[in-house]
Amino acid sequence: MRPEIAIIRIKNLRLRTFIGIKDDEIQNKQDILINAEIHYSAAEARNSDNMDDALNYRTITKKIIELVEHNRFNLLEHLTGQVLNIASDHAWVEFASVEIDKPHALRFADSVSLSLCYSKNNKM
C-alpha cells in the first residue's frame, strides 16, 4: 500500500430500517449494523491540515443514515450495494468495502451479514 493512502473505518453504525420480505419485517423496523472501510489518497491532507483536502467521514455517514432510515429494502444485497455506492461515490476513493449485519435474522445465529467491495481499478 502506498504511504499516502488513508483508510477511513466507520465501525458499528447502528441504524433501524425496514429490511426483508416477511410480514413482520415489512411492518416493523429492524436493527442493522454497518461497517464501512474507505481507502483514498490523503497526500494533500497530510501536508495541509485543510478539510477541503480530505474526505469528510461525517458527510458520508449522514448520507448513509439518510438512505437507511428513509427507505425500505427487500434484500440485504440491495441495501449493502446502496451503502457501498455512497462509500465509493467520491472520485478520490480507490477502494471501499461495506458489511451489513442483520442481527437475529436466524434463530440460532447472532446475525447474518453481507459484504460488498468496490475497487476503482477493476470495479469489483
Is 46 inside any structural domain?
yes
Is 30 inside any structural domain?
yes
Band (pLDDT 50/70/90 cuts) for residue 44 is confident
Is 55 inside any structural domain?
yes
Tell me the residue range of the domain where 24 lies.
Answer: 5-119
The tally of domains found in the chain comes to 1
Q: Cα angle at 119 between 49 and 124, to 5 degrees?
A: 160
Q: How far is CA 96 from the centre of its chain?
A: 8
Is 124 inside any structural domain?
no
Kindly report, residue by residue over 62-107, the tens digit of the pLDDT.
999 999 999 999 999 999 999 999 999 999 999 999 999 999 888 8
Domain harbouring 42, CATH code: 3.30.1130.10
Is 45 inside any structural domain?
yes
